Structure 1
Amino acid sequence: MGKLGKETKNLLLAITVICLISFLLAAGLSFLLAKDFQHEMLLHDYGVSGYQLNHEDKLQISAFTAHPNESDIERGKEALASIGYSEATSMQLLPTVREYRNQTMLYLLLLLLFLFGMVYLVLLFYLRRQHRAIDDAGSKIREFLDGNSMSRIECSQTGDWYSLFHDVNEMATILSAHAESQKQTKEFLQDIISDVSHQIKTPLSALKMYHEIISSHKGEAETVANFSEKSQREIKRMENVIYTLLKLARLDAGIIQMEKAEENVSALMQDVLERFETWAEQDHKEITLSGKDDISLNCDALWMSEAIGNIVKNALEHTQPGGHISVQWTQSPLLTQIVITDDGKGIHQEDLYNIFKRFYRSRFSSDVHGIGLGLPLAKSIVEAHGGTISVTSTLNVGTTFTLNFFSLTNE
């Protein structure tokens, strides 16, 4: 069993003391039984002697088999007392009584030895099993503390110890979840810092260069105006990057509580149209809306408008003059669906799996101003509403974004 613990030693010591006390009690009990046996034997001898003295004519078997009466006992007692045989006679002078006492003591001791031997064996087996289980639990806990977050104590059996082991496993799972959450938070912050630094580095470099040019050409109004305009464009680009990243970061961190309400989808789409109507007219493009006026969606209007607006903006950027963007919505008992379709140049097949990644830029793209955050933000907003977003596209034919919001009509 290895080194015994203090509790185990105390338990074994207590059982040993109980065993010794039981042996002493057995010895005392055997003495009392022997005294009782001696008393019964004396009564028998008194009766036999008295019967014989009262019936001196002949020896009868009745002297040994009949129940002696009081007169026989009294006469036998007086007769045997005269030769020194009485209650006061020492047990040591009576071999039969002494043998009875010794045999009784032996049987009681053997019985106690057997009982306590079985108790010891069962106890040792139990303690050995528990000691092994505790050792295994200790090794698993040390593994967990050494960094193995998947280490768990085997607790498939029942009992107090295994109940405790189950609680320890549950605590380890909670600690692992907290550790994983902290790890993800750390990685998330690292990614955000990396993204911000990567995206801001280029416009900052450009701003520095424009500032140097403006400083060295202060007297040239046209040059100063030209590079001031470029500086403003880079500052605007930095603002877009920072604001969009902050929105994504807040969504990813789960610190934004969507203020959902039943919103009319037609009014929501009309709001999106008004934001991009002027841009579309200037580029000779058309945005059309199609859907029933009585359809509603349980959502946060501002965030949903942001998501759909980013998709429409993406469609405008990738549609040629004269192009058409269609926004349609339908509703069934199962879902509310919003479909945004354009007849632009489409998306290459290899890009379809990456367009929702942050800062992704296709090698086929000619857009030099996009930052690659609009569609990822739209996806995050849709998913924060419990919806899904998918895309299909055919080169030189067009692209379709489909937003599905399941069972929201029953909320």
Structure 2
Amino acid sequence: MGKFGKETKILLLAITTICVISFLLATGISFFLAKGFQQELLLHDYGVSGYQLNHTEKLLISAFTAQPNESDIARGKNALASIGYSSATSMQLLPMVQNYRNQTMWCLFLLLLFSFGTIYFALFLYLNRQHKAIREAEGKIREFLDGNTMSRIECAQAGDWYSLFHSVNEMAAILSAHAESQKQTKEFLQSIISDVSHQIKTPLAALKMYHEIIISHKEDSETVQSFSEKSQREIKRMEDVIYTLLKLARLDAGIIQMEKNEENLSVLMQDVMERFETWAEQDHKEIVLSGGSDVTLACDALWMSEAFGNIIKNALEHTRPGGHISVQWARSPLMTQIVISDDGIGIHQEDLYNIFKRFYRSRFSSDVHGVGLGLPLAKSIVEAHGGTISVNSTLGAGTTFTLNFFNLTKE
């Protein structure tokens, strides 16, 4: 019993106590039955003696088989009492009664011994099996607590304990999922902090240098004006980086609830193009919109215009003066497709698989002001709407971005 727990020991002690009490009761019952047997034996002997005294002519078998009457019993009782044989006679003087008592006691003892022995044996097997299962479960739980989040309790069998083990496994799976989520959140925050610090470091250093130059040349208005403008550009750059990173962080964290409505793509694209009209005119570039005026897209207009704007901005930045940017849209029973293409410098094959990575800067790019967040943000917005975005490009001939949104509602 040393390996069993306190509750099991209490159970075994209670059963042992019941066993001892049962043996004591068996002893008392055997004495009670022996006393009853003694009384029956006395009545029988009274009847036989009285019957024989009342029929003295000869010894009759009926003296032993017939039901004795009151007269026979009374006469036999008086006769036997005269020689000291009565109910007061000690059981020790009656071997037959003693044998009956001993036989009864042994029968009861053997019956109880067999019953409690069977109970103890079955209980021992059960408790030993349960003890082994619990020890194995404790070992698995300890492994889980020590860091092995894949550790699980074997619970293929049926039973109360195994139902409990199954619940523990479910809890372990939930805890593992929470731990993994927290790990990802931590890594995500570390990544965001690293990105922000990395991207802010350069403009901050530039601002510090510009400020020192302005202080040292504060009498030179032309120098002050020049470096003030440069400072303003760096501030704008930091502002763009921070705002874009915050948008990406909110999308990645899943805290943005897209307020989707059926938006007219023609109207939406016209609003987006108005943001770039002046830029396009100044650089002698043309943006051409084409598509059905009744085509709609279930989307959050504010976020989707951000995605379209980032792709068009990227096209403008990589298109030579006199170039064209085409924005086309169409709707089929299966999907709504938006194609944004340009006839610009194109994307090197080495860069095609990386343009959606944050802060990616191509070694072939001549853009020194971009921070590499526009296209990743566009991709995150499109995917948040359940869409896909792909790119094809030919170096020196242009680039095409294709956005597909499956129609989950009826036409």
Which residue does 2:377 correspond to in 1?
Answer: 377
CA distance in 1, matches of 2:71, 2:8: 63
Query: 1:298 touches 1:409 (CA, 8 Å); kept in 2?
Result: no
TM-score of the aligned structures, taking structure 1 as reference length: 0.90
CA distance in 2, matches of 1:330, 1:122: 77
Runs (5+) with no aligned partner, structure 2: none
Q: Using the TM superposition, give the Cα deviation of residue 306 of structure 1 relative to its aligned residue in structure 2, in angstroms.
A: 0.2
Q: Secondary structure at the match of 1:346?
A: coil
Q: Using the TM superposition, give the Cα deviation of residue 206 of structure 1 relative to its aligned residue in structure 2, in angstroms.
A: 2.5
Report the AA paired with residue 328 of structure 1. Answer: Q
Q: Using the TM superposition, give the Cα deviation of residue 240 of structure 1 relative to its aligned residue in structure 2, in angstroms.
A: 1.4
Change (3 A) 1:392 1:59: farther
Which residue does 2:179 correspond to in 1?
Answer: 179
Change (3 A) 1:335 1:52: farther
Which residue does 1:204 correspond to in 2?
Answer: 204
Which residue does 1:404 correspond to in 2?
Answer: 404
Q: Using the TM superposition, give the Cα deviation of residue 309 of structure 1 relative to its aligned residue in structure 2, in angstroms.
A: 0.8
CA distance in 2, matches of 1:225, 1:404: 47
Report the AA paired with residue 36 of structure 1. Answer: G
Which residue does 2:85 correspond to in 1?
Answer: 85
Which residue does 1:335 correspond to in 2?
Answer: 335
Report the AA paired with residue 114 of structure 2. Answer: F
CA distance in 2, matches of 1:36, 1:330: 108
Q: Percent identity, aligned pairs only?
A: 82
Q: Using the TM superposition, give the Cα deviation of residue 341 of structure 1 relative to its aligned residue in structure 2, in angstroms.
A: 2.5
The answer to which of 197-206 and 391-400 deviates more is 391-400
Which residue does 1:29 correspond to in 2?
Answer: 29
Report the AA paired with residue 269 of structure 1. Answer: M
Deviations 1:285-313 (A, max 9, x none): 33222322223222211111001111111
Q: Using the TM superposition, give the Cα deviation of residue 104 of structure 1 relative to its aligned residue in structure 2, in angstroms.
A: 0.8
Which residue does 1:64 correspond to in 2?
Answer: 64
The answer to which of 29-38 and 231-240 deviates more is 231-240
Which residue does 2:320 correspond to in 1?
Answer: 320
Query: 1:333 touches 1:409 (CA, 8 Å); kept in 2?
Result: no
CA distance in 2, matches of 1:189, 1:104: 83
Deviations 1:171-191 (A, max 9, x none): 333333333333222222221
Change (3 A) 1:93 1:303: same
Report the AA paired with residue 98 of structure 2. Answer: R
Which residue does 2:366 correspond to in 1?
Answer: 366
Q: Using the TM superposition, give the Cα deviation of residue 408 of structure 1 relative to its aligned residue in structure 2, in angstroms.
A: 4.2
CA distance in 2, matches of 1:2, 1:345: 83
Q: Secondary structure at the match of 1:19?
A: helix
Q: Secondary structure at the match of 1:288?
A: strand
Report the AA paired with residue 99 of structure 1. Answer: N
Deviations 1:376-401 (A, max 9, x none): 11111122223222223333343332
Runs (5+) with no aligned partner, structure 1: none
The answer to which of 389-398 and 118-127 deviates more is 389-398
Change (3 A) 1:71 1:290: farther
Q: Using the TM superposition, give the Cα deviation of residue 216 of structure 1 relative to its aligned residue in structure 2, in angstroms.
A: 4.3
Deviations 1:7-51 (A, max 9, x none): 222222211111111111101111111122222223333333333
Q: Using the TM superposition, give the Cα deviation of residue 358 of structure 1 relative to its aligned residue in structure 2, in angstroms.
A: 0.4
Q: Secondary structure at the match of 1:350?
A: coil
Please tell me whether residue 251 in structure 1 is matched to residue 258 in structure 2.
no
Q: Using the TM superposition, give the Cα deviation of residue 356 of structure 1 relative to its aligned residue in structure 2, in angstroms.
A: 1.2
